[in-house]
Amino acid sequence: MFGIRLKLCTFLCGIAVSGVGAVEVYTPEELHAVNGSDARLKCTFTSSAAIGVQASVSWNFRPLSGGIEESVFYYQEQPYIPTSGKFKGRAVWSGDIRRGDASITLRDLKFSDNGTYSCHVKNPPEDVHGQAGEMQLRVVTTVTHSEMKILLAAIGGAIALAIVLIVTVASIRACRQHRRQRTELEKNPQCYLHEETEDPSPEHRHEQKPQEEVQELKSLVEETCEEKVQVHVKSDS
C-alpha cells in the first residue's frame, strides 16, 4: 500500500514539474504567400523562467507529400544560417529571443516550399518541455482575398487623401482671390463705380428706356395743359 502511494506521489510531482517547466509556443495555423516573395514565419513563446544564453530555437520543414523532416534554421545565442539544402541562403533570422520572438523569414518562395513548418523552443535548464508550434505554408500565384482587401483599402485611402488635398488647395486659392478682390475694392472703390456707370448691363439699359419714355410723355402733357390755359385766358379777356 505504501509503495502504491509513493509511486502515485512521484507521478503527480512529475506532472507538476513538467507543467511548470514547459515552454508554450504560438504560431498561426496557416499562412498564404505569393510565389517569389518573402514570407515571415511568425513564432512567439512564453517561458516560466528568464531567457538564458542556452535558449535555442529550431525550425523544421515537412513537405505536403510527407517524407523526412528537413532542418530549416537553428538559433542559439546567434543565428546559424543553413549552408546546404533547399533553404540555403533563403532562411534568415527575424526574431528577438529576449522578447519571446522566434520568427524567421523565408526569401524567394517557391512552390516546393509548401508544407508544414514547426517551431521548437527550449530554455534550459528549467524549460525544456513543451510542444512545438506548427503552421501550414501555402505558396500561391496571386494574392489571397484578405490581402486583396488590404491592397484595395490602401489604394482607396491614397485616393481619398489626394481628393482632400485637391479640395483644400482649391479652397485656399479661392479664399486668397476673394481677399485680394476685397482689398482692391477697399483701396479704389470709385473705379468700380465708374465702370458700372459707363458700362451698364443690358438689364439695366432695358430698365432705363421705359423711364425715359414716361418722362417725355409727362413733359408733353404739361406743355399741352399750359397751352390750353393760355388759350382760355385770352378768350376771357
Task: Give me the DSSP letters along 111-138.
Answer: GGG-EEEEEEEEBTTTB-B-PPEEEEEE
Q: Left if phi > 0, otherwise alpha if psi is -120 to 50, otherwise beta: which for 72?
A: alpha
Residue 31 grid coordinates: 499562412
Q: Which residues of the chain have pLDDT under 70?
A: 1-21, 143-149, 151, 189-214, 217-218, 220-237
Residue 119, burial from CB neighbour count under 10 angstroms (0-12, 13-18, 19+): buried
Any alpha helices (H) in the chain, and if so which ranges?
A: 2-20, 145-187, 189-198, 202-236
pTM, entire model: 0.52
Cα separation, 114 vs 102, in Å, equals 20
Which residues have C-beta within 8 Å of that of residue 58, sequence separation ≥ 6? 71, 73, 74, 75, 119, 120
What pLDDT digit, counting tens, does each position of 91-104 carry? 999 999 999 999 99
Of 125, 104, 121, residue with least CA distance to 45: 121
> Residue 5: what pLDDT?
46
What pLDDT digit, counting tens, does each position of 11-49 carry? 443 333 334 457 899 999 999 999 999 999 999 999 888
Cα separation, 24 vs 127, in Å, equals 10
